[in-house]
Amino acid sequence: MTFHSPSLPCFSFLGGKGMVAIVGILGALQILGGILVYIVARSAIHEILGAVMFGMGVIAFALGCILETNRKQLKAMTPPKP
């Protein structure tokens, strides 16, 4: 049994790592946005929003790391083509 993870053709320049790169970049941007919102917060609700944005960004970035690890493991498990 072979596993095939399709990638979007518009991200083919990333070598099949398109989804991992996009999730990682968006997670990092969300972390930076959360920090920025927290810095300029003028009320408690804005501080809460910044903290939630930061936390969700960390989760998204971790998801990108998990996807990359999963991709490497699947590639190692796939037998070489004859």
Encode pLDDT of 6-31 as tens digits: 554 444 455 667 788 888 889 999 99
What are the distances in angstroms from CA 21 to CA 11, 16, 67? 9, 10, 10
Cα separation, 1 vs 59, whole angstroms: 31
Cα separation, 40 vs 48, whole angstroms: 12
* pTM of the entire predicted model: 0.71
Helix (H, G, I), strand (E, B) or coil at 5: coil
